[in-house]
Each structure stands twice: as structure tokens, then as C-alpha cells.
């Protein structure tokens, strides 16, 4: 992915100068290492602040909801699938978007880096297959594959599905024998162990809703957690409320989630709530043969039906 | 625990299962009486929130029943519902609720004998599992 940054700046400059778009959404360096932040460029002179590296895991589709202007946006494989979902769900028009596809080789997991190094991380530099982390104690070098986000390691759609410009040649897609090995492991447990597994998984949750806010699918005007009459979910730290929140949050993403990993990345407690969304992703695939965000002309899984949908569970 | 009786919350479609329950009543069929029936306009009206809310408020079992596919009063409501239910049941069981707690059925308004059969099955299945401990909001802890 090295060399993307310069091309991005050129494209952004060109689009803004010609007036083809009103705004470019990309990334700029954050104030801390490994923390790139979304960046909204409206003047060609500001295009120089755009960057691209392995820390651009935030899903930029999240910033397109209900926008009215013409926008150019950089899209990894997962982002582009979410943009397709946005178009399907009428959250933005396809004509408003100038999608600059970014063939992606995976984002770096900042938690893995922090866990594998001692002391504060001062800087991170990367090449196509290695990552070098600088701390006060010196430099450490890692294989990129070892510090990748789990969803990127399992990704089978690295290249954008829709785009107007492509930043570089498409990268080779990964072939993964079993994307859902961890899900199958939980499915094989008995009910009590499953219950306990999720009890432990969700115990650290502080109900900050960062997972909801980072998610491009979560745009309801009033979220179910904020509804007061009736109140479906309590607002406190009650274990049942926490579980209900995670259950419903995941269920709302059924047939829409592209496993971009934004929720897990945003979680301050490091909870892997993707275990819930991926279960739904797996079921949508096995029950309805549906994969989210692959085709702007197809309605999502829960918006259509077949007369012979599976119903063995119904008496 | 021997005199424990389960509480079942049942969501019945107005156009079919609700009628079947009514028919079973006027036909004087006998069946266990552990359900609290909530009438809904269509099985497509069922939101996952309803089912979770029933469990949270102390239901030992939940039963959702609507019209047979193809017989929906609103033409296709139960087809959409069926997809939601499939994912819902899988996810709630994946999170650790016992498979016998949540039931779905298609019962037309003429099938009062099927109604009696299914209600008996549902209640027996929930009885066998005992009181529900999962997804229940423990109000005693608050106070």
C-alpha cells in the first residue's frame, strides 16, 4: 500500500480543483501513532494532509449518511460494500459519490501492537510485509500478517466492489478455507457454556456505544437504546441489559454487516462483538445465500423472501 | 418446585392462530392454560424486541404463531417474518438460551386441533426445562 498517499493527494486535488466534487473524505495523521482520523477536505490546497497507511481501519461509509453534497471518498473493499448498502438503503445517491477504490492488504491491529511491545509506542512505520514499532526501548519488527486485524486476516473482498477511480491495480484476494472456525466452535458448545462464554465476553462492556457509533449501518434517528416509551433496554450496567443491547445491535446488522471491524476497533474495552455479527453473516450466507453489499441492484436479505426459505424450526 | 407452572408469552396473528385459539375455546377442547396471549396484526409485526422483552420480564417461554406461508392476510408478511425468525432463533440459541424456550408455528384459523397439539408441546417443552434464568432482568437486585 506504499505510494497510495501521493496518488490520493493528486486525485483529491484534481477533483476539488475541477469542481467535480464538493468534498473529499479520507484520512489524516492523528495526534497519536496508529490513530489516523477521518478528514474532510473541501479545498484543493488542503489535499496535502491526506494520508494512507495500515491504520485507516475506520469505515468512511459512516460519514456519508444523509449527506447532500457531491463527495469523493476513499474506499477499501469493506467500505465500498458498505457504500453499496448505503445506496440500497437510500442513505445517499450513487450519483453523489465519486468512489476512489483502494485495493487493501489489511489494517494493523493497534491492540496487538501494544500487547507485543513494552512501553509507549512512539512511532510505527510499515512496508508491504513488515511493521516496525519504535518505543523508548528501541525498534521492534513484526510480520504484517501477525499484527493484522482479525477481520482483515479473514477478508475475502479486499478490492472494492464499486468504484469510479481505482488507486492501484487490484490485489489478489485471499482464499480462506473456513472463515467461521471460531463461530463453529461456539455453536458446538452446550447451552450453559454458550451462555457463560458470552457472559465473560460481554462482562467488560461499559455501554459507551462506541461500537454503534463507529458502525456505518447504525443511523436510526432514535436508536432502540434511547427509546423511553416503551423502554426496551435498560440503560445501566445490568448484565441482561448489556446482553440485550449487544443482541439487538447485532440483529440490526443482520444481512447488512460487511465485517469491516469498525465496531471492534472502536471498543475501548477490546470486546470482540464481531462474534455476534459474524454469526448472522454466516447464517445469511447458509440460509439465504446472501452476502451484504456485493450488488447495488439486489435488495438485502431481510427485505426479500423466497417461498421455499428454510423453515424446519417452525411447527 | 413441584407446583411450578411455566409462564408462556404467545404472540398470535389476528387472522389465524388467534382464531384457532378461539375455535378451540368454543369447541370446548381441553389444553393446559399457561399462555398469556398477545394479539398482533401479523406475524410480520413481531420485532425481536418483543421476544427479548418477554424473556426480560419473566417469561419462561415464548411462542410466536402466524398463518401458513401463502395464506398471509397481507399477502407476504409471514414470508418476511420467517427470515427474521430463522436468524433470530439461531442467534438467541447461539448466545446460550435453551432451544426449547422459543417456539414458532403456523396455525390457520381452522386448525384448532393443531393449536391444542402445539400448545401442549410448547408447554411440555418449557416445563421440562424449568424456570427461565436467561435474559431475565433481575429486579430484586435493584431496589
Q: Can you state the angle between helices A274-288 and B77-94, rounded to 10 degrees? A: 140
pLDDT in tens, A79-129: 999 999 999 999 999 999 999 999 999 999 999 999 999 889 999 999 888
- The number of beta carbons lying within 10 Å of the beta carbon of residue A195 is 19
All 3 cell numbers of residue A23?
468534498
CB contact burial B133-143 (16+ within 10 A = b; e otherwise): ebbebeeeeee
In this structure, is residue B109 part of a structural domain?
Answer: yes
**Distance from C-alpha of A155 to C-alpha of A293, rounded to nearest angstrom:** 14
Asked if A219 is an interface residue toward chain B (Cβ–Cβ < 8 A), one would say: no
Q: Is the pLDDT of residue B143 over 70?
A: no
CB neighbour class for A190 (10 Å; exposed up to 12, middle 13-18, buried from 19): exposed
Region of poorest pLDDT, from A52-56, A283-287, B134-138: B134-138
The helix (run of H) or strand (run of E) holding residue A40 is strand A37-41
Beta bridge partners of A74: A100
Tell me what the mean pLDDT of segment B63-83 comes to.
95
The tally of domains found in chain B comes to: 1
For A191, nearest residue in chain B (alpha carbons)? B96
Residue A203 pLDDT > 60? yes
* Mean predicted confidence (pLDDT) in B124-138: 91
Report the alpha-carbon distance of residue A204 to residue A237 in Å, rounded: 10
- pLDDT value of residue B142: 47
CATH (domain of B75): 3.40.50
Residue ranges of alpha helices (H) inside chain A are 4-17, 77-88, 110-116, 150-153, 181-187, 191-202, 210-214, 239-252, 262-266, 274-288
Mean pLDDT of chain B: 92
| CB-based contact, B128 to chain A, within 8 Å | no
Q: What is the pLDDT of residues A148-188, one digit of tens each?
A: 999 999 999 999 999 999 999 999 999 999 999 999 999 99
Q: Considering CB atoms only, which of A198, A310, A313 is closest to B104?
A: A313
C-alpha distance across the termini of chain B, in Å = 26
**Residue A249 near residue A289 (C-beta atoms within 8 A):** no
| B135 in a structural domain | yes
Residues B78 and B17: their CA atoms lie apart, in Å, by 13
Average predicted confidence (pLDDT) for chain A: 94
CB atoms B96 and A247 under 8 Å: no
Rg (CA), chain B: 15
Coil, strand, or helix at residue A24? strand
B136 domain-assigned: yes
Residue with C-alpha cell 414470508?
B79
**Closest listed residue to residue A244, CA positions, set B120, B25, B125, B51:** B51
Percent of chain A with pLDDT over 90: 92
- Please check whether residue B1 lies inside any domain of the structure: no
**DSSP 3-state of A303:** helix
Grid cell, residue B23, equals 375455535
On the question of pLDDT at A218 being above 90, the answer is: yes
Judge whether A311 is closer than 8 Å to chain B, CB to CB. yes
Please report the pLDDT score of residue A284 as a whole number.
Answer: 96
Cell representation of residue A129: 510485509
Whether residue B2 lies inside any domain: the answer is no
- Tell me B122's DSSP state: H
Domain annotation covers residue B87: yes
pLDDT in tens, B29-51: 999 989 999 999 999 999 999 99
What pLDDT score was predicted for residue B139?
65
Report the pLDDT value the prediction gives residue B3, as an integer from 0 to 100: 85
Q: How do A138-143 and A130-135 pair as beta strands?
A: antiparallel
**Percentage of residues of chain B with pLDDT beyond 70:** 95
Is residue A1's pLDDT more than 80?
Answer: no
A220 at interface of B, judged by CB pairs closer than 8 A:
no
Going by pLDDT thresholds of 50, 70 and 90, the confidence category of residue B138 is: confident
What pLDDT, in 10s, does the model give residues A262-282?
999 999 999 999 999 999 999
CA dist., res. A93 & res. A187, Å (int): 39
Q: B17 in a domain, yes or no?
A: yes
Query: Taking CB atoms and an 8 Å cutoff, what residues of chain A touch B115?
Result: none
Q: Which helix (H) or strand (E) holds A125?
A: strand A121-126
For residue B40, give Cα distances in angstroms to A304, B9, B14, B112, B127.
22, 12, 6, 18, 25
pLDDT confidence of residue B96:
93
Q: How confident is the model at residue A261 (pLDDT cuts 50, 70, 90)?
A: very high
Is pTM beyond 0.95? Reply is: no
Range of the domain at B130: 8-141
Amino acid at each position: 500500500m506504499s505510494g497510495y498517499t501521493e496518488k490520493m493527494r493528486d486525485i483529491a486535488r484534481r477533483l476539488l480543483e475541477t469542481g467535480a466534487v464538493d468534498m473529499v473524505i479520507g484520512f489524516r495523521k492523528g495526534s497519536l501513532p496508529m490513530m489516523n482520523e477521518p478528514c474532510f477536505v473541501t479545498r484543493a490546497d488542503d489535499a496535502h494532509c491526506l494520508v494512507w497507511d495500515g491504520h485507516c481501519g475506520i469505515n468512511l461509509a459512516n460519514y456519508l449518511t444523509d449527506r447532500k453534497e457531491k463527495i469523493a471518498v476513499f474506499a477499501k473493499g469493506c467500505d465500498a460494500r458498505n457504500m453499496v448498502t448505503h445506496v440500497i438503503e437510500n442513505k445517499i445517491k450513487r450519483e453523489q459519490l465519486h468512489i476512489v477504490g483502494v485495493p487493501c492488504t489489511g489494517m494493523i491491529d493497534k491492540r496487538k501492537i501494544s500487547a507485543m511491545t513494552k512501553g509507549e509506542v512512539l512511532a510505527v512505520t510499515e512496508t508491504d510485509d513488515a511493521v516496525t514499532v519504535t518505543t523508548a526501548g528501541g525498534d521492534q519488527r513484526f510480520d504484517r500478517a501477525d499484527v493484522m486485524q482479525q477481520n482483515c486476516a479473514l477478508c475475502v473482498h479486499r478490492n472494492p466492489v464499486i468504484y469510479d477511480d481505482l488507486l492501484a491495480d487490484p490485489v489478489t484476494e485471499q482464499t480462506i478455507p473456513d472463515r467461521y472456525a471460531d463461530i463453529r466452535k461456539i455453536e458446538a458448545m452446550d447451552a450453559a457454556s454458550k451462555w457463560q462464554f458470552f457472559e465473560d465476553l460481554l462482562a467488560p462492556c461499559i455501554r459507551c456505544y462506541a461500537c454503534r457509533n463507529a458502525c456505518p449501518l447504525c443511523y436510526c434517528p432514535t436508536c432502540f437504546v434511547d427509546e423511553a416509551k416503551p423502554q426496551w433496554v435498560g440503560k445501566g450496567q445490568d448484565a441482561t441489559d448489556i446482553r440485550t443491547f449487544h443482541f439487538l445491535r447485532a440483529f440490526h446488522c443482520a444481512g447488512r454487516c460487511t465485517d469491516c471491524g469498525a465496531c471492534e476497533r472502536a471498543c475501548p474495552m477490546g470486546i470482540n462483538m464481531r462474534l455476534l455479527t459474524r454469526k448472522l453473516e454466516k447464517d445469511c450466507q447458509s440460509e439465504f445465500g446472501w452476502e451484504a453489499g456485493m450488488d447495488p441492484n439486489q435488495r438485502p436479505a431481510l427485505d426479500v423472501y423466497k417461498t421455499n426459505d428454510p423453515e424446519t424450526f417452525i411447527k | 418446585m413441584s407446583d411450578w407452572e411455566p409462564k408462556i408469552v404467545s404472540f398470535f396473528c389476528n387472522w389465524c392462530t388467534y382464531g384457532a385459539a378461539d375455535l378451540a375455546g368454543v369447541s370446548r377442547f381441553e389444553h393446559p392454560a399457561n399462555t398469556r396471549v398477545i394479539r398482533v396484526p401479523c406475524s410480520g409485526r413481531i420485532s425481536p424486541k418483543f421476544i427479548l422483552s418477554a424473556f426480560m420480564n419473566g417469561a419462561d417461554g415464548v411462542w410466536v404463531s402466524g398463518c401458513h406461508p401463502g395464506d398471509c392476510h397481507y399477502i407476504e408478511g409471514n414470508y418476511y417474518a420467517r427470515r427474521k425468525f430463522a436468524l433470530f432463533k439461531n442467534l438467541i440459541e447461539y448466545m446460550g438460551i435453551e432451544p426449547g424456550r422459543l417456539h414458532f408455528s403456523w396455525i390457520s384459523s381452522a386448525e384448532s386441533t393443531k393449536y391444542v397439539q402445539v400448545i401442549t408441546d410448547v408447554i411440555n417443552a418449557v416445563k421440562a426445562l424449568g424456570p427461565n434464568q436467561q435474559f431475565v432482568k433481575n429486579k430484586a437486585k435493584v431496589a
